[in-house]
Amino acid sequence: MAISFLVYPAYPLIILFLPSSGRVKFDVIVALSVLSWAVFSAGIFLAGLEGYEYLKELWKRKTSAGRAESQKGNGSNHK
């Protein structure tokens, strides 16, 4: 899932090499960013409240598990 977010920094890198003016390149970067967020938002809308709650719970588990592991690792080093 995280790999899908790598498309955002790729936009400017790809578009900077297009043979167009700076204004056109800027407009294309903005348009692609808006389009990608629109598609992402549509996906959330189509998933509905159930999908939103699932993603929210998944995020909570991942972030709390990461914190628990780092605290457990720090606590085991102290004697």
The total domain count for the chain is: 1
Summarize pLDDT for 3-46 with one digit per residue, the tens. 666 777 777 777 778 788 888 888 888 888 888 888 888 888 87
State residue 39's pLDDT score. Answer: 85
State residue 53's pLDDT score. Answer: 86
Instruction: Report the predicted TM-score, pTM, of the whole model to 2 decimal places.
Output: 0.47
- Torsion sign over Cα 55, 57, 63, 65: negative
Is position 2 within any domain?
no
Is position 3 within any domain?
no
Residue carrying the six token digits 């709650």:
53
State residue 79's pLDDT score. Answer: 46
Is position 1 within any domain?
no
Summarize pLDDT for 36-75 with one digit per residue, the tens. 888 888 888 877 888 888 888 888 988 886 665 555 555 5
SS3 19: coil
Find the domain containing 54 and state its range. Answer: 8-77
Is position 42 within any domain?
yes
